[in-house]
A and B are shown apart, each in its own frame.
Chain A
């Protein structure tokens, strides 16, 4: 698959260890990359650097094989769709006027596309922007971003403020764009959504990328949870001592064992003639939260 966007060690340092540091990202045609991390981790800073709003202190951004700076990014702008986290347009304009203005600035005839998208997202295009609810403002932003069918989409929390039905429609639109060969980078705090639609995941924390892999690999390497109703505490301690499990939790009617080595734990349990246990299907939410717990513990140590 073609690499449409690549960053090489881009850094923006705001001081006091705030910003984004040594960020390496590759966006390939026909792939959706989820960009996740806690608030203030550096997601928006990274996206603003990629979209040409903030100049990196160091590093290189390549879009469609051209080296990009704040000064020359406008040359590739027609190929990019950027949706900022906070949507803002001239408040006195209707959605229709906003789209017409955007179309004339893009110099691309796409009136049928923005009409189709507005209808699909159930957006009243005759209302002034200031009269629209938060969710409908988001829809204006989404239509505005997708109307020229860009090759690269940079979306900062695109689903926030949307009702579940519209969120589903948005994901359908993003999947369509992916099918047509667009490369998509989207940030979100809703990890279940990221798990559903993304092919790759990038986790960022304190300005540094902590995990970057395909969704499959991350889930395969993530902590599996064994739920066991009855187990001798000696076995649990032995598992922990032998580093077969990362940690364990005692609940009222079960014990949870967290492990990366599911096979090893199964072998151990069966050797002790324990056959009654359940293994939870890993999900990104657990993985993400647990990875952060581990990272936090390591930082504290």
Chain B
């Protein structure tokens, strides 16, 4: 099947970028892991309590924030990893179809025996492979960084599995958003709109935890459905929230694929 060949070619092209992305986050994980014991020794519970509930919520932290590696990862690492992964995914989404139309390389795919839907889905699948591989690699590297550099005896694999799985779902959702925007509007506008949406809704999700901030805004944020506090508490992802992300992704993929099927490609 030709779409399998497209996936193979696309995945091959992404190997270098995937390795760089993993190295960056491995470096971040090493830095965080080496900080954990130092922070644990210097910051006591009284100081944490003095931050107040609002500020701790902003950091996805609680009073046990520094008592366990898992909660520290949830508060310090996961939030920023999710945001940058979301930005990367939305950019990759825009470039997968919209970028190819813009730089005219879509010709190489649109002149083969593969339907427009096949092109759309093969781009999606090749990027999902990228996200899965990078999530597994970064998850394992982060786990071992904390395992080796922190003084905590045992670290929950279940926690890491669920935390990185939910970020993977978020990456697919933001990729789907970027891919759909790339088909519906011009590349540059789609890229700005997609990145803007991710950054703004990340702040919405964080700020909505503060008193007085309109609570409803958190529901339009994909980061709300990561539900890191739930993972920190139960070590499993919140299934209904994850299903919302998956369902939204399917809707955006469907809209994007239908629009691409009818789209005029000016090259």
Residues of A within 8 A of B (CB): 48, 51-55, 70-72, 74-75, 77-78, 80, 82, 84, 86, 88-90, 92, 101-102, 104-107
Contact = CB atoms under 8 A, between A and B. Distances in A.
A142 to B, nearest CB: 14
Interface centre among B6, B9, B267 (most CB of A within 10 A): B267
A53 B108 contact: no
B265 interface: yes
B244 to A, nearest CB: 32
Interface of B: 2, 5-6, 8-9, 13, 103-105, 107-116, 118, 261-262, 264-267
A55 B262 contact: yes
B116 A105 contact: no
A256 B109 CA distance: 53
A84 B104 contact: yes
B104 A105 contact: no
Given A104-B5, A105-B2, A52 B113 contact: no
A233 B229 CA distance: 99
Q: Is the interface of A mostly helix, strand, loop or mixed?
A: loop
Contacts of B116: 70-71, 74
B113 A101 contact: no
Contacts of B6: 105
A72 B110 CA distance: 11
B264 A105 contact: no
8 contacts: A53-B264, A53-B265, A55-B262, A82-B107, A88-B103, A88-B104, A105-B9, A105-B109
A53 B5 contact: no
B115 A84 contact: no
B111 A77 contact: yes
A102 B107 CA distance: 11
B108 A86 contact: no
Q: Which 4 A-B pairs have the closest CB atoms?
A: A88-B104, A53-B265, A54-B264, A105-B112
A88 B99 CA distance: 12
Nearest to A144: B108
Contact of A80 (B109, B111, B114): B111
Contacts of A53: 110, 264-267
